[in-house]
Structure 1
Amino acid sequence: MVLGSIQKTLYEVLSVSEDATYGEIRAAYKSAALNTHPDKGHTTLESSVPSSELQEFLSMQRAWEILRHPASRADYDKQLQSSRQNIEIIASEIEIGDMIVESTADTVELLYPCRCGDYFSITSCELGDMGILVSGDGEVEQQASDSSSASVVLGCGSCSLKVQLIINETL
């Protein structure tokens, strides 16, 4: 079972919360089944049931089949959680020139403000580990010879937002 970021969750299909009890899921299923069942209009599946209505009914049926059993629901919940953790939504792309430079005697820290009030940050040591040398004023002095540009995804210190730092050598 593959979970997509655009696709509705099984909980959304049944219009219940993810912490819904079995009774709440069962009641939502029964209500949805009464409202969306193809026999409601006394038609056959092959005849005049629009495909969108049939898809809605089949999605609701699939949701019930998985969420009604504790073991399959637990498996689904694990997959749902995993899919949410693997999604990296990049808010924007930034360059080193967009960042605030804070220098100390032995390191340079590059900061970019996040909309939550905290910062995205990376240090010259972290960049050095990637083969990128940064001067005290935040200019790229040298980077690995295999490319003229590189990028790294930075996470905010407080929220889940991420930005992609594009690093172009200024030589």
Structure 2
Amino acid sequence: MTATTTNNRLNHYDILSVPSDASQQDIKRAYKERLLNIHPDKSSSSADSPPPTISHVTVNQIQEAYRILSKPESRTKYDMELLETFKKLGYTNNGDGLDAYSLDNFEFDEDHLSYHMACPRCKTHKGFDFTEDTLEEYGQERPDGEGFQVLAQCNSCSLWLKVNFDVADDYSDE
């Protein structure tokens, strides 16, 4: 996960100007620096030094960001909430732009030989719905060589997912 704004609001990582994988020591150091940067009597800003990276944050925002990110439990909860917010906005956390799901996350309909799952973004029931024939026709070997994958789009919104699966060999008794 990278630090980005959500709904035009800065997240706690942005407020402290730290990456989302910053250590506790980095967060503490950034907290102190941010407070010093915005304090009118303590600010080291001059014509020769660059301005703080985000000048429109308040002391209260900095203190709240530090309060949440300085405690492992509250930081973990915050990270999960942030991740869910990003997913709802269509952002993903892997480098290629698509979240990967296992076929095991899908429900299997034996009557229609199809797989379905509610969309993680728009929550449409059966937003992702495809048959075994779709897997057979469009499935391609994964880049890591560990099974197969198919790209699927939600039936209701523009979200695309990678669906990873393995092919079971049919062994018949002769």
The answer to whether the superposition gives a TM-score over 0.5 is no
Structure having greater relative contact order (Cα 8 Å, sep ≥ 6): 1
* TM score, norm. by length of structure 2: 0.42
Structure (1 or 2) with the greater strand fraction: 1
Larger radius of gyration: 1
* TM score, norm. by length of structure 1: 0.43
Structure (1 or 2) with the greater helix fraction: 1
